[in-house]
Amino acid sequence: MATLSQIRSLLGEPRFNWSDAAPWVEMEREFGIEFPADFREIVDAYGSVQINGQLYVQHPAGHLLHSLGRSVRGDLELWREEDMAEFLPSPVGSGPGELMPVASAMTGEWVFLRVPDGPSLPWRVVVQEFDSPAWTLHEMTFSDWLLAYLRGEDVTVCSRRFAPDRPFYEPLS
C-alpha cells in the first residue's frame, strides 16, 4: 500500500494536517461504515483540495460547499436514480460490494471506493466515466490509485495533460 510520504514526495507538503477524528466519526456513523485508513490519512493531510486542476477530494470537516459528507449524501442520491444506477457495476451505498462516491474530476469521472465483501478484505477503487457507460475497477487501495494518478499512469482519470511538469494541489475555498 502506498504511503503518505510517497504521495507527499510527488504532491508536495500538505498544509491541512487535520487531527480531530470527530468529523469522520460523525460521517461514518451516518453512513454505517468506517472509511479505509489510507483514504482518511490522505484526506486528513491535504483537506479539501483540487489536484492537478482536475481531481476534487474533500474532507468531512470542510465548509459547507466542500464537505465530504455533504457531497457523499448528494452523490448517493444522484447515483441511486434509476437511470444512473445502470452505469455502475453495483449499487451505491455502504453495504458489502456497494460503491461509496468519494471524489470527482472536472473531466467527468467519479471515483468510488468499493466496500469490501468482508472485514479482512481490502477496499478497491472504481472509476466511472460520466460521459459514457464505462467504468473501471482498479484492484488497488485508494492510496495506490492516487499514487498511480500522481505518477501520470492511466487509472481512468489521467493527469498527464493537466500536470505536465509535476503534480500540484490547491485548497478548495
What are the grid coordinates assigned to 83, written together? 437511470
pLDDT at res. 158: 76
pLDDT at res. 52: 95
Share of residues in the chain with pLDDT > 70 (%): 99
pLDDT at res. 147: 97
pLDDT at res. 163: 82
Q: Edge-to-edge strand order for the sheet containing 49-51? A: 135-138, 124-129, 109-114, 99-105, 55-57, 49-51, 169-171
pLDDT at res. 40: 98
Residues of the chain below pLDDT 50: none
Angle between helices 142-150 and 37-46 (to 10 degrees): 50
Would you kindly state where each structural domain of the chain is located, as residue ranges? Answer: 4-153
Average pLDDT of the chain to the nearest whole number: 93
Fill in the amino acid letter for 93.
G
Q: CATH number for the 4-153 domain, one of 3.30.70.260, 3.40.50.720, 3.40.50.2300, 3.40.1580.10?
A: 3.40.1580.10
Element spanning 128, H or E: strand 124-129
CB 162 within 8 A of CB 168: no
pLDDT at res. 82: 80
pLDDT at res. 133: 80
CB 86 within 8 A of CB 135: no
pLDDT at res. 164: 83
What are the grid coordinates assigned to 112, written together? 468510488
pLDDT at res. 79: 94
pLDDT at res. 65: 80
Q: Which whole-number Å values give the CA distances from 27 to 16, 34, 35, 67, 72, in the listed order?
A: 19, 9, 9, 10, 10
Q: What is the pLDDT of residues 48-90, one digit of tens each?
A: 999 999 999 999 997 768 999 999 999 999 999 887 888 999 9
What are the grid coordinates assigned to 93, written together? 451505498
